[in-house]
Amino acid sequence: MNKKTTVPPRGKTTLDFVEGDLVVGRRAVIDGTGTPPTVKVSGTVYCEGDNIFQCTLSAQNLEAEDNVTIHGDLEIENSVKAEDGRLEVYGKMIAKRVDVDAVLSVTKDLQVEEVDVGGSLKVDGSVKAEEIDVGGSFKAKGEVKAEKIDVGGSLSIESEVDITKLEVGGTAKVAGGKIRKVDVGGSFESKDSLEFEEINVGGVVRLSGENKGGDVDVGGLFKVEGDLDFKDIEVGGKVEITGSGEGCEIEVGGKVKAGKSLKLSGNLEVGGKVEVNEEVSARNIEVGGSLRSRKATAEERVEVGGSIITVEGVTARFVNIGRRGKVLGPIKADQVIIGRDAHAEEIYGKKILLRSGAHAENVYGENITIESHCHISGEVQYTGELRINSHVSLAKEPEKVDKLPF
């Protein structure tokens, strides 16, 4: 049977080494011996509540009711359990399993296998853990390394992270690092470069620096202050990349904006607008509204419902401009369709169709069809066949040539 040492309520006792268990009465204060002052317990420490240890404490286990304060390090070989209160450690804390109902606060480093806090967890130092489960908020100033972090409310980490799986119900902020899987209900922010495999956020994502990862699924805004290397992006609202973006596919309901280039090996599908200051390239480009870039290149198709504004032009196998669309810059493709009442400048293609009411400056192609009520303000050159419907306005007579200027 374990020995038991009892400290009476409201008492103040100095201890050194305790053989067996230690029972601390309510509002009792414990001092240690040595430098720094230390109390070592070979068994379990039972705290009845509102207890203060003015020393470093080490034991097999710690069980407490109500609040406990440790003015030193807390080193527990097995488990810590604090019911209906807060545990404050003014030093470092080491344990295997920690279960605190209300608040756990550690001013230095926290090293655990599992920690479960019902309210809030605050660590001023670094954190190393396998699993962290917090019902309210989790704040850490130092580096955090964990297999899994699950927070019901908010998370804020001011240093680099190395996390396998992060789940947060509200908002999450980190200072960069590595997170394999991010799952956040509200907003997620990384203030420095982030490596990831998957980001799934209901609201807003903000990244900074050089970012490299896999799939991104965001309900609202996805903003990158820097560069991004990725696999697939699916965003309900808007994508902004101040630097360059390179990946496989992008599907966005609203707008895509890139400060430099945007290069995709797969498809770019945007419901609204695309604005890329340098070159945008993809297998297929499909834009419901407008496309603006220095240059647009697709391996297969470019289909735009509204307007295309480029300096160096659009290049693809197939280009389709929607009704009343407008194209500034040359079009070069095997097949080009200019929609009804749409406007274009230079068109170069093998097979070109201008639908009724379309306007163009110059048209160069192998086989050209111009429907009724179209207007050509420049020249038409062709090498194969030209079909012109009635009521077409031509500034010059079409010319059949042996070679086209491209």
Would 341 be classed as within a structural domain? yes
pLDDT at 331: 98
Q: Give residues with Cβ within 8 angstroms of 334, minimum separation 6.
A: 317, 318, 349, 350, 351
Contact 346, 361 (CB under 8 A): yes
CA 353 remoteness from chain centre = 43
pLDDT in tens, 49-79: 999 999 999 999 999 999 999 999 999 999 9
Contact 25, 9 (CB under 8 A): yes
Q: How many domains does the chain have?
A: 2
Would 389 be classed as within a structural domain? yes
Would 244 be classed as within a structural domain? no
Out of 95, 119, 135, a domain closes at 95
Taking the CA of residue 328 as centre, how many other CA atoms within 13 Å lie in the half-sphere pointing to its CB? 9
Give me the residues of the chain with pLDDT under 70, please: 1
Q: 205-213 long-range CB contacts below 8 Å, 24 or more apart?
A: 208/176, 209/176
Out of 42, 75, 95, a domain closes at 95
pLDDT at 182: 98
36: preceding bond cis by omega (within 30 degrees): yes
Mean pLDDT of the chain: 97
pLDDT at 343: 96
Range of the domain at 24: 1-95
Q: How far is Cα 282 from Cα 102, in angstroms, rounded to an integer?
A: 52
Would 91 be classed as within a structural domain? yes
Would 228 be classed as within a structural domain? no
Q: How far is Cα 366 from Cα 53, in angstroms, rounded to an integer?
A: 90
CA 319 vs CA 94, 229, 296: distances in Å: 64, 27, 11
Would 15 be classed as within a structural domain? yes
Out of 67, 95, 123, a domain closes at 95
pLDDT at 405: 85
Would 297 be classed as within a structural domain? no
pLDDT in tens, 179-189: 999 999 999 99
Would 291 be classed as within a structural domain? no
